[in-house]
Structure 1
């Protein structure tokens, strides 16, 4: 019997295997150390009053609710959070932003932003209305 033919050996290919990855890993930084800053100019929508305008230095991860708390503090706690309407860069009643959203969710990631707010005042003696009068009579001083 004739000896069996051995198969030809396949030539091994030298594969280009890189020693290191072709990309660099990004530097991981906690979100609280975000270096991006936003100069938020907070204004009362109507009536326009420069005394109620102030500037807050924030990051894109700042929630609208935090800005709302700053507004309430600026008013001395006289308004409630559920009465407050906040809009970013333009005030329109249909564009009121939820207090859970961040500035980044609203498209603001750096630079300067205008934050407009409005609220419904509670009727009371300081607004010229007396709650005990029938028909909610306006009292003029």
Structure 2
């Protein structure tokens, strides 16, 4: 990075985003899997996070000081100073590198099902209705 005159701030921000699950587990384990870090502004030190539900967002705001301290402790040079909780959105699924469980076997019948014949009262009602048509 130094050889190419690139700033280290984006790397630190990437580390915070990459290690966010471990940071969250250390600060607020009850929110694990319910919150996702989406951006870190290296200039202002603001970490943007998205909860899956409004209740998780409220709990996240209460845990903000602990989360900021954990981020600065786990990622040296992160310099996270503020937390911005964005509007709730579905949290992305487990990364593709994680083990995926096989899909359960299908319970669909092998042959297509045959519809049962309608009851006689239904047939009489349809016949009477059709008789009124001109």
Give the TM-score range, shorter chain: under 0.3
More helix per residue: 1 or 2? 2
More strand per residue: 1 or 2? 1
Q: TM-score, normalised by structure 2?
A: 0.27
Which of these two proteins has the greater Rg computed from alpha carbons?
1
Q: TM-score, normalised by structure 1?
A: 0.26
